[in-house]
Amino acid sequence: MIVSRLLARLVLVAVLGGAGQLAAQDPMARAFDLERRGSYPQAAELYRGVLRQHPGEIAALLGLERSLTPINRLPEIIPAVQAAIAASPGTAAIYAVGLRAYAQANQLDSLPHLVDQWSQMAPGDETPYREWAAAALQRRDRPLARRAYQLGRERIGKPDALAPEIAQLAIVEEDWPTAVREWSRAVRQLPGYRSSAIATLSLAPVAARPDILKALDHEPGVEPGRMLVELRARWGDPLGALDAMMRTLPRDPAQQLEVLQGFLEQVRNETTEAYQLAQARTLEALGDRWANAAQKARFRLDAARAYAAAGDRPSARRMLSQLAGDPSTGPAIASGASATLVDLLVKEGKPSEAASELERLRGMLPVDEYRRLRRAVAARWGRDGEIVRAETLLEADSSVDALALLGRFRLYQGDLKGVSDLWREAGPFAGSREEATERASILALLQPIGPDTLVPLGRAFRQLDGADTLGAAAAFTGLGKDLPPDGGRAEVLLFGGRLYAATDHGAEAERALKAAVLPTAQATAAAALLELGRLYVRQERRDEAVAVLEQMILDYSGSALIPQARRLLDQARNAVPQT
C-alpha cells in the first residue's frame, strides 16, 4: 500500500513538472498566466514577442488587446494590427481590434479605411459597420455611430440592414419615429427582436406614447401589430390592446391560440378592473377556439370567474349558462361553475337565490366548498340586517371560521361582550391573516367602551362592511363624540378619522383625529397624532406635519409608534423620499 502511494506521488510530480516545463517553454501560456494574475505589462511584452515572430497570430493579438486595455495603453497595439493585416488580411477579428484601437487613439480618420478593407474582404457583412459604430459609441460619439450605420446600409444595399442597431441609437436620442420604423424592420426580419423592441420602446415618456402607437398601427406586417398590442397592455390600456389583437389574429387556428395565450400571460398578473375584463374576454376567446371539450369548459369557467371579478356579472352569467347547457361539461367543471354562480348571486345582493341554488347543488359540491359558500350566503344576510336568518344558516357549522362570522353578527347588533367572547373562542387562525389582524384591531377598539351593548356602534360596522365607508366614518365620529373621555371616545374617533382619511375627506379626518387626542387615552392620542402627521404629509402641509410629529415624539416618548413617527418626520423634512 505504501509503495503504491509513493509511486502515485512520483507520477503526479512528474506530470506537474512536465506541465510546468511546458508552460515555461510556451510564451503564449506564460503570457496568459501573467494576464490572469493581473501582470498586464509583462503579459503584453510576451504577446508582442509572439507577434514579432507570427504577426497573423490572432490569439496573441487578442491577448495583447486584453493586456493593454486595463492599463490604458491600447493605442500601442496599432503597429501590431497593421502587421497582422498584412500577414493575414482575411481574418475579420483583426479589423475589429484595429477599429477599437484607432478609436481609442482618436485616429478617427483611419476608421473608414479600415472598414473599407474589412468590407471588401467580407462583402454584405454588417459586422464591420456594427463594430465601427460600437467603437464610436464607446467614445460617446453618436453622430459618428449614425454615419457608420448609414454607410453600412447604403453599401450592403438592404433597407433593413443594421435595423436593430439604428433603432437602439434612436432610443438613446429619443427619436421615437425612427425607433418605431427601425424596430418594425428588425422584427419583420427576425421576430426574436420583438422582446428587445418592446423593452426599449416601453421606456418612452407618456407624451410620446400615442404617436408611437399610431406609428406602429401604420407599419405593415404582423409583428409590428403584436408590438402594438404588447405596448398598449404595458401602458395601461389592456382592452385597447385586446381589440387590436383580435383584429390582427392570424388565420391559422394553432397560431391564434398561441397569440391569445401569450396575451393572457401578459395581463394575468394585474388586478385592476380593466385588466380583469381583458383576462375574461381572452379566456372566452380561448374557450371558443379550443377543440378539446374539457379544456374548453375550463377556459369558460375561468372566464366566468374573471368576468365576476371585473364586475361584469351579465357576462359571467352568460359563461355559466354555456357551461350548464353543455352536456360535455365534466363533474369537476360543473361543480366549479355552480360554486361560481353562488358567489355571483351573493355579490349581486341576492342571498336568497344563492341559498336556494346552494341547496340544489349540495350533493355536487365538496363538503369544504359547500360550507364556504354557506358562510358567504350567511355573511351577506348579516350585512343586510337579517341576523337571525344568517345565524340559523350557521347552526350546523362548528368551524372556527363560523365562530368568527357569528362574532361578526354579534358586532352588527352592538353586542360587544358577545363579539369579544366569540372572537376569542375562534382564535387567530380563523380566516386569512388580514381578517385575523382586523379582528384584533376591532377588539382593541371595543375594550375601553363601558357598556356591553352599543347598538349604534353595530350599525356603523354594518355600514362599513356594506361598502358605505363615508357613511360609516360619519357614524363612528358622531358616536365617538357622545362617548365618555375614558370610555372609548378617543378610540372611536380615531377609527372614524382613519376612515375619513381613506376616503380623501381631509377636513373631516383632521377634525376627528384632533378630537381623538385626549389625555385620558395616551396610546390612542399618540396614534391619532401620527395619523394626523400622515394626513398633513399627503396634503403637502409639511410644516404642520413637522409640528404635529414633534409634539407626538415629545409628549409620548414611551409610545411604540415613535420609530414610525421619526421616519415620517424625516420624510416631512424632505430628508427621505415619500413611500
Q: Three-state SS string across 79-148, please?
A: HHHHHHHHHCCCCHHHHHHHHHHHHHCCCHHHHHHHHHHHHHHCCCCCHHHHHHHHHHHHCCCHHHHHHH
Residue type, 207: A
Range of lowest pLDDT (1-5, 193-197, 510-514): 1-5
| Contact residues for 297 (Cβ-Cβ < 8 A; gap 6+) | 287, 323, 326, 328, 329, 330, 333
- b/e per residue, 91-121, with b = 16+ CB within 10 A? bebbbbbbbbbbbbeeeeeebeebbeebbeb
What is the number of H-type helices and E-type strands within the chain? 33, 0
* Mean pLDDT (whole number) for 399-427: 93
Report DSSP state, residue 415: B
Closest alpha carbon to 464 in 408, 420, 538: 408
Range of lowest pLDDT (102-111, 221-230, 439-448): 102-111
Report DSSP state, residue 74: G
H-only helix segments in 394-515: 400-412, 416-426, 433-446, 455-465, 469-482, 489-502, 506-515
User: Above 60 in pLDDT, residue 5?
Assistant: no
User: Above 80 in pLDDT, residue 16?
Assistant: no
H-only helix segments in 325-366: 331-347, 351-360
Q: Which residue has the cell 380623501?
A: 504
* Mean pLDDT (whole number) for 489-498: 95
d(CA 495, CA 531): 10
Closest alpha carbon to 307 in 281, 339, 268, 335: 281
The helix, strand and coil proportions of the chain, stated in percent and rounded to the nearest 5, come to 75, 0, 25
Q: Given this model, what pLDDT does residue 575 score?
A: 57
User: Above 60 in pLDDT, residue 25?
Assistant: no
Q: Given this model, what pLDDT does residue 7 score?
A: 35
| Contact residues for 461 (Cβ-Cβ < 8 A; gap 6+) | 411, 412, 442, 472
d(CA 384, CA 348): 12
Domains of the chain: 448-579 (1.25.40.10)
d(CA 444, CA 465): 18
- b/e per residue, 363-395, with b = 16+ CB within 10 A? eebeeebbbbbbbbbbbbbbbeebbebbbebbe
Beta-bridge mates of residue 279: none
Range of lowest pLDDT (131-140, 176-185, 445-454): 131-140
Closest alpha carbon to 557 in 547, 544, 566: 566
Q: What percent of the chain has pLDDT over 90?
A: 57
Q: What percent of the chain has pLDDT over 70?
A: 94
pLDDT tens digits, 505-534: 999 999 999 999 999 999 999 999 999 999
Longest dimension (CA), the chain: 102
Burial (CB count within 10 angstroms: exposed 0-12, middle 13-18, buried 19+), residue 166? buried
User: Above 50 in pLDDT, residue 21?
Assistant: no
Question: With bands split at pLDDT 50, 70 and 90, how would you rate the model's confidence at 11?
Answer: very low
Question: With bands split at pLDDT 50, 70 and 90, how would you rate the model's confidence at 577?
Answer: low
pLDDT tens digits, 459-474: 999 999 998 999 999 9
Q: Given this model, what pLDDT does residue 12 score?
A: 39
| 8 A C-beta contact, residue 502 and residue 536 | no
Beta-bridge mates of residue 453: 415
Question: With bands split at pLDDT 50, 70 and 90, how would you rate the model's confidence at 14?
Answer: very low
Q: Given this model, what pLDDT does residue 23 score?
A: 44
pLDDT tens digits, 288-331: 898 888 888 889 889 988 998 898 988 988 888 778 767 777 77
- How high is the mean pLDDT of the chain? 88
User: Above 70 in pLDDT, residue 578?
Assistant: no
How far is CA 95 from each of CA 62, 89, 188, 469, 564, rounded to the nearest angstrom?
11, 9, 30, 72, 61
